[in-house]
A and B are shown apart, each in its own frame.
Chain A
């Protein structure tokens, strides 16, 4: 069954510095990969997805993620973090073929320090 690992519990970064949130995945065959964000007291929102094609995917709010098949990773990045980026970030994976179950990681709390 598909699974996601987000190894860090919390990521602290100073405002204006680059932000990276790590994600590795396990899936049978090729993956669909997603990042979702959960702001305080709000529901989860879709950020970006990787299906096929260019390994660098650009999404909402200036975020991007790079698919690395050999390392089975899909790290989320932002060149310059904002205080408003402080939130809970979830990586998710489902197989390209087969079941449609989207498996989520445990989430990473990102804290951007002013």
Chain B
């Protein structure tokens, strides 16, 4: 079956431009996460969506970052006025979340979007 799909796989942008990253979760997965992975570092939590609940935005590093999710489907992560320190791999993951599997459902990750800000 289809896994988590992220697009684009690579994005090169100039400093100051806005970028939009897309995530298509696994069908039926109510929970969706965005993480950032900088070179040589661990995964940094950005934002979490669970069903119709208010998203947990506590990991967003600045107000230049925002994310939306349409129902229990596609999510977009937007970075405005990109900076060089935004260069990283942005990972999206989905899981069954609370309703079906509780907090213990494993995350299924996409292959990520590699963002390079020049």
A interface residues with partner B (beta carbon < 8 Å): 6, 32, 34, 36, 42-46, 49, 51, 90, 92, 94-97, 99-107
In the assembled complex, which residues on chain B have CB atoms less than 8 Å from the CB atom of A95?
A: 103
Q: Is B33 an interface residue (CB 8 A)?
A: yes
Residue contact B59 to A94, C-beta cutoff 8 Å: no
In the assembled complex, which residues on chain A have CB atoms less than 8 Å from the CB atom of B97?
A: 100
Alpha-carbon separation in the docked complex, A92 to B45 (Å) = 11
Which of the listed residues A94, A104, A105 has the most CB atoms from chain B within 10 Å of its own CB? A104
Residue of A nearest to B112 (CB): A43
Instruction: Count chain B residues whose beta carbon lies closer than 8 angstroms to a beta carbon of A.
Output: 26
Q: Is B48 an interface residue (CB 8 A)?
A: yes
Residue contact B50 to A34, C-beta cutoff 8 Å: no
A73 to chain B, nearest CB (A): 18
Alpha-carbon separation in the docked complex, A99 to B104 (Å) = 12
Given contacts A32-B104, A104-B43, contact A45 B56 (CB under 8 A): no
Residue contact A102 to B107, C-beta cutoff 8 Å: yes
In the assembled complex, which residues on chain B have CB atoms less than 8 Å from the CB atom of A99?
A: 56
Contacting residue for B56 out of A32, A42, A101, CB 8 A: A101
Residue contact A100 to B41, C-beta cutoff 8 Å: no
Alpha-carbon separation in the docked complex, A74 to B14 (Å) = 42
Residue contact A102 to B45, C-beta cutoff 8 Å: yes
Alpha-carbon separation in the docked complex, A102 to B35 (Å) = 10
Given contacts A43-B109, A43-B111, A106-B42, contact A101 B103 (CB under 8 A): no
Residue contact B107 to A46, C-beta cutoff 8 Å: yes
Residue contact A100 to B42, C-beta cutoff 8 Å: no
In the assembled complex, which residues on chain B have CB atoms less than 8 Å from the CB atom of A104?
A: 35, 42-43, 45
Given contacts A43-B111, A44-B91, contact A90 B103 (CB under 8 A): no
Residue of B nearest to A6 (CB): B42
Contacting residue for B41 out of A43, A49, A94, A106, CB 8 A: A106
Taking A44-B93, A101-B45, A104-B45 as given, write out 6 further A-B residue pairs in contact, using a Cβ cutoff of 8 Å, ordered by the A residue number: A36-B107, A42-B111, A45-B109, A46-B107, A94-B103, A100-B48
Residue of B nearest to A48 (CB): B106
